[in-house]
Amino acid sequence: MPITTAIYNAHPHKINSLLADIEQQFALDEDALISITSHFHKLFNLGLSDYGHQMAMIPTFVTGVPDGTETGTFLALDLGGTNLRVCQVELHGNKAFTLKQQKYRVSEALKTGEATVLFDYLADSVDAFLTSNMESPQSLDNPNTINTDSPAIPLGLTFSFPVEQTALDKGFLLTWTKGFSAKNAINKDVVKLLQDAFDRKHLHVKCVALVNDTVGTALSRAYTAGGCVLGAIFGTGTNGAYLEQVANITKLRNGPAAAAGGVMMVNTEWGAFDNAREVLPITPFDNKVDRESINPRFQAYEKFISGMYLGEITRNLLLALVDAAPKPILFNGKATERLNKHYGLDTEMLSLVESAWRTDAPREGDSEENAVLRDFSAPLAEERIAPATLRRLNRVREIVQEHLGYAPGEVSLRDAALVQWAAALVVRRAARLSACAVATVALQMGYVTGLGKDARAAAPSADRKPYSIGIDGSLYQHYPGFEDRMREALRLLLGEEVEKLVIMGLAKDGSEVGAALGALQATKHTKTVT
């Protein structure tokens, strides 16, 4: 197939072979998965050894995870986009917590104005929350959770922007993302910016911990599950943070953290994996997405697997089928305004299509019906389709009409089957690539030696925690079969024995609860050193 988003030579008798070529471009067999994971592992260790690598491997100075027995009440502030959340998190000590939260909208003026105005707004929001949610802010004071020498209420900040962290309560903003461009913030300590705002407002609140959303996810899952070694985001974006031996973070060789030893959470920033495009399975549809993005040649891995981009990859694929020549393959050659619009196809539509398709699915061995559905060169004959499958196709057709703006009668059953095929193709690759990151952490932490046929479970040791993963994000939480597809790839990479030991679970309210648990760590540390 030519390296272009157009499909030429699309004669009816060649359509199946053309689509088979596209399938091959999205396919990831065992050898490809091993190659990607091996390269992932190499970049992990480069990032741990020095600064300035594409995989940043940022030390977070979080030196442990909770086990669910901790108690206390903390404030959390989560800034990561259009909304910010202020929360009160009460830890009950039995792996359970109570969360009280309030959302506050961040205007465009705040995003693009002076940093002091933005951080004053954050402080005002905390003040408003305290005023409306408790009789006295001092009701949060708890001898089990704060330094008795200070009346200040401990607060953890989840700040989902790139920072270079130098301590648990210190991190310098590298760049704004997500539409923020507040002035005079780059290279400034965001904790100090927030604390200065609290002090200007005379609030008895102290920001004691800075965490990103992946660390928060790991801490939250650790609290509710009794342990967690990897926090991962598989949603609109992707990233991961895991527990690393401090001795392996050789770029910390001269600091006090290195001398202390033990473990530390490392924020991988794995969305930037393979920005050099050495091993990722690039298709013409990916190239188009990257070229038209706001950050071409950056965040390469994220563009293959995150919810922000999967709909756009699929849209480009569907348009190639619409524009196929000399005979269109899809929608009789008609593209609607939504299908033509940049990011006009949301990943939510893919999820709805897959959900409809998985309802009343036929038996795996129903080969005659599967053969009918797989022959894309001819219209679907309804009399040859089982009633349950016909219902599924009609549901998919309705979803396509509603979300892409086609009129009734403009989407055939064959069109519906092709859209389902495209969605499954794109998301299966995303899930398999997601598994590569999970497998890399297993390799790095010593849960497995070797990959593929050489994979062996490492000998158990007294200090090794179970490979428990806390995951947040809409893909993992809502996309049908996403975890199943990840596990399919993990079995190829790690072997069935190790894959069975991988415990995945949703991290409930990860960003908010994780920030509070970061504050818990900070106050524990304060008690230890004072």
Nearest to 170 by CA among 95, 89, 60: 60
User: At residue 386, what are phi and psi to the nearest 5 degrees?
Assistant: -60, 150
85 is known as an active-site residue: yes
**List 169, 213, 290, 472, catalytic entry:** 213
Note whether 230 and 270 are within 8 A (CB).
no
Nearest-5° Cα angle at 329, 480 to 2: 95
Ramachandran assignment for 9, one of left (phi > 0), alpha (psi -120 to 50 degrees), beta (any other): left
Peptide bond between residue 326 and the one before it cis (omega within 30 degrees of 0): yes
Whole-angstrom distance, CA of residue 263 vs CA of residue 243: 6
Tokens (6 digits) for 58: 């940022």
Which run of H or E residues covers position 76?
strand 71-79
**How much is the CA Rg of the chain, to the nearest whole Å?**
25
Length of the chain equals: 530
Count of CA atoms in the C-beta half-sphere (13 A) of 440: 26
Please give the single-letter amino acid code of residue 116: T
Choosing from 160, 306, 351, 468, the catalytic residue is 160
124 is catalytic: no
Based on the residue annotation, tell me whether 136 is a catalytic residue of this protein: no
**CA atoms within 13 Å, Cβ hemisphere of 226:** 4
Q: What whole-number distance in Å separates Cα of residue 328 and Cα of residue 306? A: 29
Of 78, 85, 220, 346, the active-site residue reads: 85
Enumerate the active-site residues. 85, 160, 213
